[in-house]
Structure 1
Amino acid sequence: MRVAVIGATGNTGTAVLRALKDTPEVTEIIGVARRLPDPETEPYTDCRWESVDIGASTDTPERGEEVIGELTELFDGCDAVIHLAWLIQPNDRRELLRRVNVTGTERVAEAVARADVPHLVVASSLGAYEPDPARQEHSDTPPPARDETWSVTGIPGSHYSEDKADQERALDAFTERHPEVTVTRLRPALIFQGLAASEIQRYFLGEWLPLQALNAGDLPGLPVPSNLFVQAVHADDVGRAYAAAVVHRLPGAFNIAADDILGPQELADIVDHGRVIPAPAAVVRAALAAAYKTGAVPADPGWIDMAMNVPMLDSTRAREELGWRPTHSAADALAELLDGLAHGSGHNSPPLQPRDLNDADVPEVSEPAARGASAGESTDPGISEDLSADILGLYVSDHLTGATAGANRIERMANDFVDTPVYPLLAQVALEIKAERTFLRNLVHDLDIKQRRYRQVTAWAGERVGRLKFNGRVMERSPMTMLLETELMRGAITAKRGGWLTLRANAENLGLDPDVFTDLVTAADKQLESLERVHEYARVRAFDEDRRIYREES
């Protein structure tokens, strides 16, 4: 069987690839994502990878047809397509979310029909279901589980739930138009695994929460509503459910959840010492709303609305018809996630990057900088007496300052232009520059250079003040912003490239491997090439009052 997986690099997609590789019936896998992973890292090896933006702007009908055409070509000869792609952030760009989540699903389904693929498997969710009144009636015990016949009209107030319900309606319409295609929908509970911890933190918790405290076990207790009940499932079990769905090719919906339901006491037992601090749901929602409004956390209060109202899932049909059984409990899946949150765990794909980029495998900086380290004969780095330690220290510290400002700027650019076709280029450059900043920090430590943290703080503040440009727009993005930001970043990368060349020229007197800096120079050249493509896109749109910068047509 040849299987294409749309959205193959995230939490669920990575687990699905692992499961498909363990499925004898599957002989070929096509991985599709907007940002591609390292193909040398499991489970991304031995897949054919293609980059397609299923949510590309539809300001012209022609562009939507182009996306469907790209997908149709990719799906040619496939026996099944698994559609997992889903955009959770940014919360405040509802048009973008719907374009990716709902319109994107419609495009994938249409391409399946045009390519004569007999089977479409789609990631729905427990969030597609309508509120269960029993959730408000059962305050001390879990409410009854519901099967797949429960109505899928979504939870009002939750953009995720509303989009999932609209996705289901789009699939209903597709099934009526194309009865020849078997459409399978999986509706899993919350999907947890340790490798997804940093992704989940970025999407829901933000970077400011001291999650390392989870590892210390010092929390005084868990504030939680008394009628909160949670179902979860390990990502590996979800992956096996998708593989089983592909093999059995059965139509309709399947609930996927572990056997146990986690109430307040079970959650407190897993998170810390088992002490529950009762908190009314309204208070928790208000606190989340305030934190979201101030930018402290990225999750909006709609997630609380969904958590307090979704039905519990009955997974009997998946057991009986797909032969699926969970191998992990919900408690074990959550415990693994919490451990991952405490340690900043992740994996080598764009969505799953670990919290600490020391743990990331970015090829240009993955080798130690010490001379001979790659050959297993490393020497301790240090500044030779032939060099001025003070002058060199100031030079490296200034480059670290520049890297701090550059990393903040390029990350913000990627976030600001997530709804443009150049986003994958910006996101990849942002990842590399963040990793290089970590490399420089480690180098400062290894060379025992005096830390000048006030310079990094000044750079951080200066970069944010620099955002207030006279671009003619105050409350909205100017079409000129991308052009200006790209030109500033090109200058910064050119300066950084000079720094790598300088360190390479002095590597012998620093006990460093010059080949590491040769790789970094090569990486800088590639980053400049990427930014030239961004600049090419921006410069023909920068002065357009119709703001074509956010659309794909020329």
Structure 2
Amino acid sequence: MKVVIVGATGNAGTAVLRALHQTPEVTHIVGVARRLPDQNVEPYEGCEWHSLDIAAASTSEDAVSQLTEVFRGAEAVIHLAWLIQPNDQRELLRRVNVEGTRRVAEAVSRAGVPHLVAASSVGAYSPDEARSTDSDPPLRDESYPVGGIDSSHYSVDKAAQEKVLDTFAAGHPDITVTRLRPGLTFQADAASELQRYFLGKALPVQLLKSGRLPALTVPKGMLLQAVHADDVGRAYVAAVLRRLPGAFNICTDDVLGPQELADIVDHGRVLEVPPAMVRAALVAAHKSGLLPADAGWLDMAMQVPLMDNTRAIEELGWRPQVSSADALRELLDAMIEGHGHPSPPLHPRDKDERVVSAIHEPAKSGAHAGAGSATEGGTEDLPENLTKDLMGLYLSDHLTGATAGVNRIERMAADFIDTPVYADLASLADEIRADRELLRNIVEDLGFPRKPYRQAAAWAAERVGRLKLNGRIIERSPMTLLLEAELMRSAVAGKLGGWQTLREHAPELGLDREVFDRLIEATHRQLSTLDGVHEYARQRALRDDRDTFWD
């Protein structure tokens, strides 16, 4: 059996891949994602991979044609792709999430795939008034209305997606359309992703490693249904094997209330406050940029019904193996540790160090071998004929430039998510961040001061530079991508010179020259990638007959 997963690198996709690998009936697994994962680690290894954009920066015909070719010969397509951020690009979210589902469904039809399994959500349901009036609200089955929560963009789009699936199912009675509606989906591998999407840096969960909260503050009446991602993965596999139409609620049997949440997060002490007070705080935090999640997520959590999972148990033969409490406990512990997984969406919180080890293979025990560290003699171990103060200043200047470069390329990847060059920019951001961390490690190992105030100044200067309007006040300028690509090419060319200089002096510094051979080769590839980005931008930025963005 050939099964294709669209959106195979995220929270649910990673769990579905694990489940598919354990299913003897499945002999061919195909993963589709805009940015591909490390294919040498589980569960991404042993799969056929395709990098495709379903709607962010592609025409309908192009996306459907490409998906159709990938889907041919498949017995089932599992559609999981969903864009949660950026909140401020509402049209982009709707295009990827709702129009993207329509395109996937159309490709299923063209390719002759007999079964489409789509990821819906508890968020698709209409508000349940019993949540605010009943201390013990009833569990709702799949017949409950699917109208969404108006103030939640996620919920509105999930309800709109269900309408797309309804229309497709009515027009294609020969294709089985299954939709799963999971509750909150938790796993350790998604810890850092969920923190980035919803908490950001405003709530440093990692501080819980050294101590618990005096009390957990929650909205009065908060009730949550969660499910472990591995249970979700098994549910998708059960749906593929049973090939039953319609919707299935996927959730655990236990419901987490304020006390249960407090027992997991702190010492069991809980402070319930009016939901309106929490909502006002969320609005202020989101508008100020402190919190990525908007208040719509709270509205959805407080209003959607509690689900009854009877149909999934009886008809799919599925039953949750992990409780909501245990799933949340695993997630919280993993958030504290900054845990993640080597895929673009799931990367760990402390990604820099892990990316360095994945991309660079330094000789001996590190990139620097033989020279003293800051705590073991430092620069005193360096040769007398080396001008230490100038070398230290040189490396500090490069580290300052690297900090500015990381900030710029990360912003470019975020700003141009709706262009065909996004995947290249995002991959470049990973590599350039890793290069910065390697340089930082070298500076520290050699015992030179890092001069953090210089890096802070570079960080601030880069952000001030973002204020340039490039001829536009209230919208993005098509010229911005062109100029940013040119600036990044200059920055990467400067980095190339730094690696060449370090290679030249590697024997005196006790460094391995082969490390810098690899870095120089990788930097040439980065320049080539930026050349491609610049080519795309220069063909469009100064013309009225070609679009740079898809908004």
Provide the TM-score with structure 1 as the length reference. 0.95
Q: Which residue number in structure 1 is paired with residue 34 of structure 2?
A: 34
- Give 1:175 deviation, angstroms: 0.4
Q: Which amino acid aligns with 1:357?
A: K
Contact 1:56 1:64 in 2 (8 A): no
CA distance in 1, matches of 2:387, 2:200: 41
Q: Please say if 1:96 is aligned against 2:92.
A: yes
Q: Which residue number in structure 2 is paired with residue 49 of structure 1?
A: 49
CA distance in 2, matches of 1:105, 1:86: 9
1:59-458 to structure 2, matched below 5 A, reads 63-139=59-135, 142-361=136-355, 365-368=359-362, 371-373=363-365, 379=370, 381=372, 383=379, 384-385=382-383, 386-458=385-457
Contact 1:124 1:187 in 2 (8 A): yes
SS of alignment partner, residue 120 of structure 1: strand
1:17-32 to structure 2, matched below 5 A, reads 17-32=17-32
* Residue deviations 1:66-106 (CA, integer Å, cap 9, x gap): 11010001101001000000000011111100110000000
Contact 2:114 2:174 in 1 (8 A): yes
Q: Which amino acid aligns with 1:111?
A: A
Contact 2:440 2:450 in 1 (8 A): no
SS of alignment partner, residue 398 of structure 2: helix
- Give 1:551 deviation, angstroms: 3.8
SS of alignment partner, residue 478 of structure 2: coil
CA distance in 1, matches of 2:441, 2:477: 37
Q: Which residue number in structure 1 is paired with residue 376 of structure 2?
A: none
* Residue deviations 1:356-393 (CA, integer Å, cap 9, x gap): 1245245664434xx53389x95455652232222111
Provide the TM-score with structure 2 as the length reference. 0.95
Select between 519-528 and 181-190 the one with higher mean Cα deviation.
519-528
SS of alignment partner, residue 549 of structure 1: coil
- Give 1:531 deviation, angstroms: 1.0
Q: Which residue number in structure 2 is paired with residue 533 of structure 1?
A: 532
CA distance in 2, matches of 1:426, 1:358: 17
CA distance in 2, matches of 1:356, 1:532: 30
* Residue deviations 1:494-543 (CA, integer Å, cap 9, x gap): 11111111112222222222222222212211211111111111001112
Residue 7 to residue 470, structure 1, CA distance change in 2 (3 Å): closer
SS of alignment partner, residue 523 of structure 1: helix
Select between 524-533 and 303-312 the one with higher mean Cα deviation.
524-533
Question: Percent identity at matched positions?
Answer: 63
CA distance in 2, matches of 1:362, 1:170: 43
SS of alignment partner, residue 541 of structure 1: coil
CA distance in 2, matches of 1:17, 1:366: 27
Q: Which residue number in structure 1 is paired with residue 16 of structure 2?
A: 16
- Give 1:211 deviation, angstroms: 1.7
Q: Which amino acid aligns with 1:523?
A: A
Q: Which residue number in structure 2 is paired with residue 550 of structure 1?
A: 549
Select between 518-527 and 260-269 the one with higher mean Cα deviation.
518-527
Contact 2:226 2:327 in 1 (8 A): yes
- Give 1:213 deviation, angstroms: 1.6
- Give 1:441 deviation, angstroms: 2.0
Contact 2:478 2:541 in 1 (8 A): yes
- Give 1:198 deviation, angstroms: 1.1
CA distance in 1, matches of 2:14, 2:480: 35
SS of alignment partner, residue 477 of structure 1: coil
Select between 289-298 and 505-514 the one with higher mean Cα deviation.
505-514
Q: Which amino acid aligns with 1:534?
A: V
CA distance in 2, matches of 1:10, 1:419: 19
CA distance in 1, matches of 2:442, 2:147: 54
CA distance in 1, matches of 2:140, 2:35: 37
Gaps of 5+ in 2: 374-378
CA distance in 1, matches of 2:461, 2:352: 26
Count residues in correspondence: 543
Q: Which amino acid aligns with 2:285?
A: A
What CA RMSD, in Å, does the superposition of the two structures yield over aligned residues? 1.7
